[in-house]
A and B are shown apart, each in its own frame.
Chain A
Amino acid sequence: MTTKLKSFLPLLGIAALAIALLVVAPAVLSDLRLNNLAKYCCWAMVAVGIGLAWGRGGMLVMGQGVFFALGAYAMGMHMQLESVGDGGIPTFMILYDPLAPLPAFWEPFRSGAFTIAMIVVAPVVVASILGFAIFKRRVKGAYFAILTQALAVALATLISGTIKYTGGDTGLSGFTSFFGYTLDDPLNRRLIFTITATLLVGCLVVAWQLYRSRFGELLVATRDAEERVRFLGYDPANIKLVAFVVAAVMASIGGAMFVPIVGIMAPKSMDAAASIFFIAGVALGGRAALFGPVLGALAVGYGQSTLSEQWPGTWIYVLGLLFIVVTIALPGGIASLATRGAGLLARLRSSDRKAASA
């Protein structure tokens, strides 16, 4: 096979995943299971972004919950306002203070178009400012990881502490409609799944295109030898910034779709623990591989939902062990097993040949 053809091979994989999600899954899964799968797809979108930033860019983003929350709360605010109708005020605000007017920053979210714009624009702006400051100052490695985690903790604390504006720990819930369509209708819920799965496939295509572009090569070069990239005349800060911003947008879209699917958005879906949960799937699947983060996140999502229902404690032990075992024994995740296996085969074959010639 020519190398040119080979570089399109991953597209086949993406197509296979698209068929599995968009054709097979709706045909065989019940409404409830399909809705669960939609939830895993949201986490998988975050994971594709983490794969880009961490796997390819070497930036361990431990605070993707921040961007997840930006998308999720934008969507949550819109759906909340839509559910109470024109000029209405969300129930939790009335409970807190019956006479308070709607906070000014809520008002524009009555518009669906504004909400959709914000789901993309807000993470771009926040990640650009953050990333610019962080990468230009050459903060990296563990410092970067701790900083991002601190931001996730800070935002979660802020949301918990501002009950009047965000619903606090209880979060936003009680949604009835999604851009004018009633959420009760199972058909609409299937449609939401289809949108989510399509967005996930879209994220994968973006990641694939970025990985095979010149930018992708530079990103990997920055990860492996930042100083050399700098000496070659590129600015590593800009390269990292792009990856960080794209990852943030993916997390935000994942968060936005999470809200209509799960029906509630609270700080515990985006705090430090949740941000670490986002990473778990990426680490398991293989952070630098194209399909590692997606499949890992889907698997971990499934594991969390099924295991934690039956034995909530056991699941935490499993997740904790997963982190330990994967980082010690399999830093490249399950995806690296394939390359390791291929390498082992090649070595065996060459030793066979040596034995034959001797």
Chain B
Amino acid sequence: MDSLIAPFLNGTADGALLLIAALGLALTFGQMGVINMAHGEFLLAGALTAYVTQQVIASTDLSILLALPIAFVVAGALGVVLEATVIRWMYERPLDTLLATVGVAMILRQFVLDAFPSQGVGVVTPDWLDHQIDVFGYAWPLRQLFTILLAGACLSALAALLKFTSFGRQIRATVQNRALAETLGVSTRMVDRITFFVGSGLAGVAGVAISLIAATDSTLGTKYIVAAFLVVVAGGLGQLKGTIIAAWVVGVSTAFFTDWTTGSIAQVIVFVLVVIFLQVRPQGLFTVRTRGLA
């Protein structure tokens, strides 16, 4: 039964990866309405952080664990800088944030091309992750399980943050009614910044996980950004469960289509299926009801 379990497990791991990447977007796009096309390059920043950490700390066992929080801070800092310099000027103009961040993405990509070896860098998988576990006769790479666990951890942390902390309450209040939140003493500017920090930081964490699986070069972000956006849109804005389901379905179905055809054809099929799905349900899987006309 090797043929059935392999794409299922690989696809779940890919879906988990997509989920961490999409979680950050769900936060910045879904909660704040900002379309950050540079999110893909924040993934790249995370992956490069993993590489740099590995160059500095000789022990690969330790460096990958250290890279996770460092990447979170690096990508988060990039996000805050982006918010403070570019995005703050256009909260009323979502389409323009899209264009401006496209420009930011181009600059970041070119910078990576200039500053790092252009053929890309390799991140070594630490020994403790370089094993396979036997799942019904299929030798499953342990790092895929690691990805899934990481996605679960990010998801629970984010959900807990939004649900149980006062800061999470402030985010939700700002999303629902910015003006009213402000009258109640919530500093919406501060909330925006921290939301952006957390959302971008998650991209950094996703980047570390990606660096273990794929080649780390300047095109890494472009490969994930469109898929991640489709996942967020297909899942429905303003909540997380739709994103989880969409990420998993996209991951697993891509893996199965890859098995039946080729990698690139599978990607095309899944993209087209998501686009068709959005024709049927433009609001995504789940929606938060609002009184807005849009």
Q: Which residues of A contact B (CB under 8 A)?
A: 60, 133-134, 137-143, 145-147, 149-151, 153-155, 157-158, 160-162, 227, 272-273, 276, 279, 283, 313, 316-317, 319-324, 327-328, 331
Interface centre among A153, A162, A227 (most CB of B within 10 A): A153
CB of B264 within 8 A of CB of A158, answer yes
Q: Mark B52-96, 1 if CB is under 8 A from A, else 0.
A: 000000000000000000000000000000000010011001111
Given known contacts A313-B110, A313-B114, A321-B103, is B265 in contact with A158 (CB within 8 Å)?
yes
From residue 244 to 294 of chain B, which have CB atoms closer than 8 A to chain A? 262-265, 267-268, 271-272, 274-275, 278-279, 282, 293-294
CB of B99 within 8 A of CB of A323, answer yes
B113 proximity list for chain A (CB < 8 A): 313
Q: Which of A139, A161, A323 contacts B102 (CB 8 A)?
A: A323
24 A-B residue pairs with CB within 8 Å: A141-B95, A141-B294, A143-B278, A149-B226, A150-B226, A150-B230, A154-B267, A154-B272, A154-B275, A157-B267, A157-B271, A158-B268, A160-B264, A161-B262, A161-B263, A273-B222, A279-B99, A313-B110, A313-B114, A316-B106, A320-B105, A320-B106, A324-B100, A327-B100
CB of B282 within 8 A of CB of A139, answer yes
CB of A320 within 8 A of CB of B264, answer no
Distance of A268 from chain B, by nearest CB (Å): 12
Given known contacts A150-B226, A154-B272, A313-B110, is B282 in contact with A322 (CB within 8 Å)?
no
B98 contacts the other chain (CB 8 A): yes
Q: Which residues of B contact A (CB under 8 A)?
A: 29, 35, 86, 89-90, 93-96, 98-100, 102-107, 109-110, 113-114, 222, 226, 229-230, 233, 262-265, 267-268, 271-272, 274-275, 278-279, 282, 293-294
Considering the complex, give the chain A residue whose CB is closest to the CB of B262: A161
Distance of A278 from chain B, by nearest CB (Å): 12
For the complex of A and B, list the 3 residue pairs with the smallest distance between their C-beta atoms, beginning with the closest: A323-B103, A161-B264, A320-B106
CB of B114 within 8 A of CB of A142, answer no
CB of B275 within 8 A of CB of A147, answer yes
Distance of B188 from chain A, by nearest CB (Å): 20
B106 proximity list for chain A (CB < 8 A): 316-317, 319-320, 323
CB of A272 within 8 A of CB of B222, answer yes
CB of A327 within 8 A of CB of B264, answer no
A133 proximity list for chain B (CB < 8 A): 279
Interface centre among A227, A283, A320 (most CB of B within 10 A): A320
Considering the complex, give the chain A residue whose CB is closest to the CB of B276: A133
Docked pose: A321 CA to B94 CA in angstroms? 18
A279 proximity list for chain B (CB < 8 A): 99
CB of B103 within 8 A of CB of A327, answer yes
Considering the complex, give the chain A residue whose CB is closest to the CB of B108: A320
CB of B230 within 8 A of CB of A134, answer no
Distance of A15 from chain B, by nearest CB (Å): 32
Distance of A242 from chain B, by nearest CB (Å): 20
Docked pose: A138 CA to B262 CA in angstroms? 34
CB of A147 within 8 A of CB of B278, answer yes
B94 proximity list for chain A (CB < 8 A): 141-142
CB of A322 within 8 A of CB of B95, answer no
CB of A153 within 8 A of CB of B271, answer yes
Q: Which of B35, B95, B103, B271 contacts A320 (CB 8 A)?
A: B103
Not counting A139-B282, A142-B98, A150-B226, a sample of 20 additional A-B residue pairs whose C-beta atoms are within 8 angstroms of each other reads A60-B95, A142-B29, A143-B278, A146-B35, A146-B233, A150-B271, A150-B275, A157-B268, A161-B264, A161-B265, A276-B102, A279-B99, A316-B109, A316-B110, A317-B107, A323-B104, A324-B103, A327-B90, A327-B103, A328-B86
Distance of A247 from chain B, by nearest CB (Å): 16
A141 proximity list for chain B (CB < 8 A): 94-95, 294
CB of A60 within 8 A of CB of B98, answer yes
Docked pose: A133 CA to B279 CA in angstroms? 6
CB of B230 within 8 A of CB of A142, answer no
Distance of A330 from chain B, by nearest CB (Å): 11
Considering the complex, give the chain B residue whose CB is closest to the CB of A322: B103
Docked pose: A68 CA to B29 CA in angstroms? 29
CB of B90 within 8 A of CB of A328, answer yes
A138 proximity list for chain B (CB < 8 A): 282
Considering the complex, give the chain A residue whose CB is closest to the CB of B93: A331
Q: Which of A134, A149, A162, A328 contacts B279 (CB 8 A)?
A: A134
CB of B104 within 8 A of CB of A320, answer yes
Q: Which of A147, A272, A324 contacts B86 (CB 8 A)?
A: A324
CB of A161 within 8 A of CB of B268, answer yes
Docked pose: A98 CA to B222 CA in angstroms? 36
B222 proximity list for chain A (CB < 8 A): 272-273
Considering the complex, give the chain A residue whose CB is closest to the CB of B113: A313
Given known contacts A60-B95, A317-B107, A331-B96, is B35 in contact with A142 (CB within 8 Å)?
yes
CB of A324 within 8 A of CB of B104, answer yes
Q: Which of B105, B109, B226 contacts A153 (CB 8 A)?
A: B226
CB of A146 within 8 A of CB of B110, answer no
Docked pose: A317 CA to B106 CA in angstroms? 7
Distance of B132 from chain A, by nearest CB (Å): 29
CB of A317 within 8 A of CB of B110, answer yes
Docked pose: A5 CA to B75 CA in angstroms? 57
Considering the complex, give the chain A residue whose CB is closest to the CB of B87: A328
Docked pose: A271 CA to B279 CA in angstroms? 23
B109 proximity list for chain A (CB < 8 A): 316
Given known contacts A160-B264, A227-B293, is B89 in contact with A143 (CB within 8 Å)?
no
CB of A320 within 8 A of CB of B110, answer yes
Docked pose: A161 CA to B263 CA in angstroms? 8
A317 proximity list for chain B (CB < 8 A): 106-107, 110
Distance of B288 from chain A, by nearest CB (Å): 16
